[in-house]
Amino acid sequence: MNKREIVKNGLFKTNPLFILLLGMCPALAITNKVDNAIGMGIAVIFVLVLSNVVISLIRKIVPSEIRIPVFIVIIATFVTCISLLMQAYAYNIFVSLGIFLPLITVNCIIYGRAEAFASKNNVLDSAIDALASGGGFAMAIIMVSVVRELLGTGHIIITNLFNSDMVLFSTINMWNWLGNLINPSNHTFISDFFSKHSISILVEPVGAFLVLGFLIAIVNVIVNKTKLRKESAGVSK
Amino acid sequence: MKFNLSKGPYLRSRQSTTKKMLALSASLLIVWIASIVSHSLVYEFYYGMMAFLIGLTSLVTTFLVDILMAFSKGKRGKEIFKFTLKSYSYVTALIFALCLPVGTPLYVVAIGAIVGTLIGKHLFGGFGFNIFNPAAIGRVFVGLSFATKLTVPNVSMYDLSAGATVTGAANWTNIKLPGSYMFKDLFLGGYPSALGESFTILLLIIGLFLIITGIANWRLMVTYLLTISLTALGLSFAFNTGNEIFYVLKHVLTGGILFGTVFMITDPVTAPKDPYGKILYAIGAGFLTMLIRVNSSYPEGMAFSLLIMNILVPTIDSLVRGVTSRKTWLKYSLITSFLVISCLLNVVIAKNITFNEGTAYVNSEANIVLRGDTYE
Amino acid sequence: MNKRVITYPLILGSVVLLSTFLLAFVYNITKPIIEENAIIRENQVVLDLFPGAEIKVVEGELTKDEKDAGLTSVVKADDNYVYTFNTKGFKEGFVFLIAIDGEGNFNAFHIVSSMDTPGHVDNVRSKNYSDIFIDKSYDTEFGDNLIITGSTYTSGAVADAVKIAGQHYGRIK
């Protein structure tokens, strides 16, 4: 397998959330804010890359009979590391992720990649695969959270992970800037309109199921379309 | 000699689904017109027009959704029209519109209608395959998302706190109805409520008509009302409200219960198929309705209880398979014990748990309103 | 004798050992930062009430009554004694501060978090309510004055806390 194919597989073809339906628990539970999704995505990429690299390094030493306990120890170690690091440097994200941070230990994506890829391939390929799969997962949960936060609260606010007071991006500011050009005396009228007409149920757990279901449906439609096109192209050749 | 057996069913009723649905929508139309008239008389002409527009918006939106679904299923030309007719979405649209209060913004009506028909019906495979009542799905979605926007004229937001409009604005557990109301108002409406809910005398007549013509199942209606009345009676005795009959009538006639009894719980698609199962289903729905009404922070539980019971329908169906035709004594004793248990459980929970101080049933302030002083 | 009986535990053991070293390393790096942050967060609320004050922890064991009433910490900000309560109230997680100044008068009341219905919390949060005990001496008997009908649980917890804070102040004075 060449490297380009690995990246393509991880991000799109076998996207962990949309195609393989792995890691559903965090994807449903913490995607009510874009901030949380970014934090979870980074944590998963961190654990996935390190555990994949280490497992790939020791794949020839570890006999297959005891590989599962060895994987568990390695993955749990890295998860504990990142949860300690987050508690120290990104406390707000640590609090809002709550129990779902330690639960990365039992995330199927990480076991899946360790078992299916890292234990059979060399270090560089494993690292690339981890980045691609983790990236695919992060991309997917960020997509879900963007839809949920935008429709559920009427705005998206992305803050610096390490300093929650520092706002990196906010649709409120954007609308206020635009509102200032149109009507300087009441420049918040656009953002007020959006927050007034938000569908608050989407921030609730029910909304997670609805949004994820619709996104998976859309992705499947696209995947089927491209498959059909490729098949028909193959036939005409 | 060769016998040719055609495929079942062998017993054919003269009533077709289309005929039933037409009768149902005619009754809904009457309720709609009545609500338009009563809203223009009680409030002003503007609200009558709004009542008309809410129904129209719901109808148009569901038709658009149907056409879109037909199009995505690859139907073209005349087939689209056929598909739209066979989905019977006008019934869903009218039921959904009639359980909204008159102050609902039209875009909220449209969103609820889209969610109800698209998620509640078409995603499960269209008419006949939906496991949840589409109108109830739309109502709950709208109620949970836009609780503050479902308003009734002349009732301030303060009175409607705690999302008081889940299926009926008129609830005496935490709304003090503005002004005083006569006993006849229980039947003729005139107090703040959703569009189709308050004109109960009309609903009773329509319910009787639907039962006599066999369009709606009497078991569902009667058991549901019986469970609620018994529970209300139990609560009345347990809390010494006095005037028990009046208290029971208030529980049954205000809020969304009668409208739900006539039009929602009788939905043949989502109810169990077995007569005995239907009775158990209605008892469960009645129990949950009273549980939510009395013991939770939501004032009305009709739509919620219906959706919860819809989940349990496959379980009920498999539990009662073949029971209908035999073991009569067991059947009746089970039904009676379920009724008694659901009544007692509600009373015990209400006595022991106060989920929300202030809105809870046992709170003394709420009791003053419950005694019906405003009605006499 | 099978060789695997020795090699497998050895491999597993060494992996566990290496992980332990890594964890110990990360733990030692992050521990002081986590502790420092915790103290900053705790004092932040007190600093909101008394900006720029110097904060010291008041030493001494809490009595059983005080613990039962939900008193979690007592700090001294300049001359003011600040009592942090984490009580049950209507529902677990009702956190608020009560402060007594150097002359023995209640001078601040601040609700950090509450799980009760917002309307009931607002009753307790209102100035009318805190005016009942603000600027009164710590040994005043309030009785039922501090209990609001309708918000009984929430205001009851505050009433208890005011009594306990006064007792504690009297004890250490």
Give me the pLDDT at residue B297, please.
Answer: 61
Q: What integer is the mean pLDDT of B197-220? A: 89
Residues B92, B24: contact at Cβ < 8 Å? no
Residue bearing the bigger pLDDT, B153 or C107 = C107
- What residues of chain C lie within 8 A of the CB of B359, using their CB? 117
pLDDT tens, residue by residue, A79-116: 999 999 998 988 888 888 888 888 998 888 898 888 88
Map residue B302 onto helix, strand or coil.
Answer: helix
**Do C163 and C81 share a structural domain?**
yes
- What's the confidence (pLDDT) of residue C139? 78
Torsion (CA) A155, A161, A162, A163 in degrees, nearest 10: 0
Instruction: Give CA separation, B259 vs B217, B255, C102, in Å.
Output: 15, 8, 65
Distance from CA of C33 to the nearest CA of B (A): 41
Q: What is the tens place of the pLDDT at every residue in A109-148?
A: 898 888 888 888 899 999 999 999 999 999 999 999 999 9
**Integer Cα distance of B273 and B268 in angstroms:** 8
Tell me: do C45 and C59 sit in the same domain: no
pLDDT of amino acid B87: 83
Which ipTM did the prediction report?
0.80
The mean pLDDT value for B88-97 works out to: 91
pLDDT of amino acid C124: 77
CATH code: domain of residue C128: 3.90.1010
* Count of other CB atoms within 10 angstroms of residue B321: 12
Of the listed ranges A178-182, B362-366, C24-28, C89-93, the one predicted with least confidence: B362-366
Q: What are phi and psi of C99, to 5 degrees?
A: -120, 145
CB spacing of A201 vs B111 below 8 angstroms: no
φ, ψ at C79 (rounded to 5°):
-95, -10
The yes-or-no verdict on residue C24 having pLDDT over 60 is: yes
d(CA A118, CA A115): 6
More confident residue, B19 or A125: A125
Based on the fold, state whether residues C43 and C60 are members of the same structural domain. no
Residue B168's pLDDT band (boundaries 50, 70, 90)? Answer: very low
Biggest CA-to-CA distance, chain C: 84
Which domain covers residue C4, as residue numbers? Answer: 1-49
Number of C-alpha atoms within 13 angstroms, CB side, residue B263?
35
Residue C164 has pLDDT above 70, yes or no: yes
Does the pLDDT value for residue A22 go beyond 60? yes
- The whole-number pLDDT of residue B370 equals 32
Is C146 found in the same domain as C101?
yes
Any residues with CB less than 8 A from the CB of B166 and at least 6 apart, and which?
B139, B140, B143, B298, B299, B300, B301, B302, B303, B304
More confident residue, B376 or B195: B195
Residue C150 is predicted with a pLDDT of 61
Q: Which two tokens stand for residue C135?
A: 């600027």
Put simply, the answer to whether B358 touches C90 (Cβ < 8 Å) is no
Per DSSP, the three-state class of C98 is strand
In the structure encoding, which two tokens stand for residue B177, read together?
């109805």
Mean pLDDT of C118-126: 71
Domain-wise residue ranges, chain B: 17-375
The beta strands (E) that lie in chain A are given as: 157-160, 163-170
Report d(CA A67, CA C15) in Å as an integer. 11
Q: If you average pLDDT over residues B181-205, what whole number do you get?
A: 76
- The dihedral region occupied by C106, where left means phi > 0, alpha psi between -120 and 50, and beta the remainder, is beta
Q: Which helix (H) or strand (E) holds C82?
A: strand C80-87
Closest CA relative to residue A115, chosen from A71, A181, A168, A179: A71
Kindly report, residue by residue over B121-153, the tens digit of the pLDDT.
Answer: 998 888 888 899 999 999 989 888 887 777 766
What's the gap in Å between the CA of C112 and the closest CA on chain A? Answer: 17
CA B326 to chain centre: 32
pLDDT at B169 over 50: no
Contact A214/C at CB under 8 A: no
Residue-level pLDDT at C58: 76
At C70-95, the pLDDT tens digits run 788 788 877 788 888 888 766 667 88
H helix count then E strand count, chain B: 15, 0
Number of domains observed in the structure of chain C = 2
Tell me: pLDDT of B180 over 70.
no
Residue B374 has pLDDT above 50, yes or no: no
Hey, what long-range contacts does A211-217 have (CB within 8 A, 24 or more apart)? Answer: A211/A31, A211/A144, A211/A147, A211/A148, A212/A24, A212/A27, A212/A28, A212/A31, A212/A144, A215/A18, A215/A140, A215/A143, A215/A144, A215/A147, A216/A18, A216/A21
Give the tens place of pLDDT for each residue, C128-154: 787 888 888 887 777 777 777 666 777
For the CA atoms of chain B, what is the radius of gyration?
A: 21
Q: What is the pLDDT of residue B308?
A: 93
Share of chain A above pLDDT 70, in %: 98
CA distance B23 to B18: 9
Angle at C66 between CA C62 and CA C71, to 5 degrees: 90
In sequence order, the β-bridge partners of residue A167 are A159
As a whole-number percent, the residues of chain B with pLDDT over 90 amount to 28
Shortest distance, CA A193 to any CA of chain B (angstroms):
13
**Token digits of residue C14:** 């060494």
SS3 label, residue C137: strand
pLDDT for B12 equals 66
For tokens 């036939």, the residue is A235
Same domain, C105 and C40: no
* Residue of A201, A203, A220 to mutate for B, most B C-beta atoms under 10 A: A201
CB atoms near residue C68 (< 10 Å): 12
In this complex, the residue of C8, C19, C29 whose CB is nearest that of residue A73 is C19
CB contact under 8 A, C11 and A61: yes
The pLDDT assigned to B220 comes to 92
Residue B172 has a pLDDT of 38
Paired tokens of B230: 């018994």
C34 interfaces chain A, CB cutoff of 8 Å: yes
Q: What is the mean pLDDT of residues A50-55?
A: 93
Q: What is the chain A residue with the closest CA to C14?
A: A70
Bond prior to B272 in cis (omega within 30° of 0): no
> Is C8 within 8 Å of A61 when comparing Cβ atoms?
no
Q: Is C6 exposed, middle or buried (0-12, 13-18, 19+ CB in 10 A)?
A: exposed
H or E element in which residue A134 lies: helix A123-153
By three-state DSSP, how is residue A169 classified?
Answer: strand
C45 and C71 co-located in one domain: no
Give per-residue pLDDT as tens, B276-291: 899 999 999 999 988 8
pLDDT at residue B179 is higher than 60: no
Compute the CA torsion angle B331, B337, B340, B341 (nearest 10 deg).
-120
The answer to whether residues A140 and A15 touch, using CB atoms and an 8 Å cutoff, is yes
Can you give the pLDDT at residue B367?
30
- Rounded Cα distance between A197 and B106, Å, is 12
Answer yes or no: is pLDDT of A200 > 50: yes
pLDDT tens by residue, C27-49? 999 999 988 888 787 777 777 77
Residues of A in Cβ contact (< 8 Å) with C26: 80-81, 84-85
A partners (3+ CB pairs within 8 A) are B, C
Report the side by side order of strands in the sheet with C94-100.
C55-57, C71-77, C80-87, C94-100, C106-113
Instruction: Show contacts of B139-142: CB within 8 Å, 24+ apart.
Output: B139/B96, B139/B99, B139/B100, B139/B112, B139/B166, B139/B167, B139/B303, B140/B166, B140/B303, B140/B304, B140/B307, B141/A201, B141/B111, B141/B112, B141/B115, B141/B116, B142/B100, B142/B104, B142/B108, B142/B109, B142/B111, B142/B112, B142/B115
Helices and strands, number each (H, E), in chain A: 10, 2
